[in-house]
């Protein structure tokens, strides 16, 4: 019996625990000083995960929890449009 370990991560908005591949990862790049998507989940920067529930996205934008978690004050319009387009 060989079961492969599935990593779990928490959504920064709802604090729910999900498998890593179910979540969208956003990272803060210090050199570019902006938040970007990490589709392959391989960037070596501080990252945050968000689940696919629209309530979590609304809360993330309304309260700014993602920006506080990443230590940033800048979320590009490109990222916002991608999140809204993909999750609606």
pLDDT tens by residue, 30-40? 877 788 888 88
Q: What pTM value is reported for the model?
A: 0.79
User: pLDDT tens digit string along 51-84?
Assistant: 888 888 888 888 888 888 888 777 777 777 777 7
Average pLDDT, the chain: 83
Q: Which CATH number fits domain 8-87: 3.30.1230.10, 3.40.50.920, 3.40.50.880, 3.10.129.10?
A: 3.30.1230.10
pLDDT at 10 over 90: yes
Domain ranges of the chain: 8-87
Q: How many CB atoms lie within 10 A of CB 83?
A: 20
Q: Which position has the higher pLDDT, 11 or 34? A: 11
CA distance 79 to 67: 12
Q: What is the 3-state secondary structure (H, E, C) of the chain?
A: CCCCCCCEEEECCCCCEEEHHHCEEEEEECCCCEEEECCCCCCCCEEEEECCCHHHHHHHHHHCHHHHHHCCCCCCHHHHHHHHHHHC
């Amino acid at each position: 019996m060989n079961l492969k370990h599935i990593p779990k991560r928490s959504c920064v908005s709802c604090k729910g625990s999900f498998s890593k591949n179910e979540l969208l990862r956003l990272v803060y790049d210090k050199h570019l000083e902006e938040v970007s998507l990490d589709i392959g989940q391989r960037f070596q920067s501080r990252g945050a995960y968000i689940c696919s529930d629209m309530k979590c996205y609304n809360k993330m934008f309304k309260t700014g929890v993602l920006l506080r978690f990443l230590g940033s004050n800048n979320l590009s319009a490109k990222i916002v449009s991608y999140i809204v387009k993909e999750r609606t």
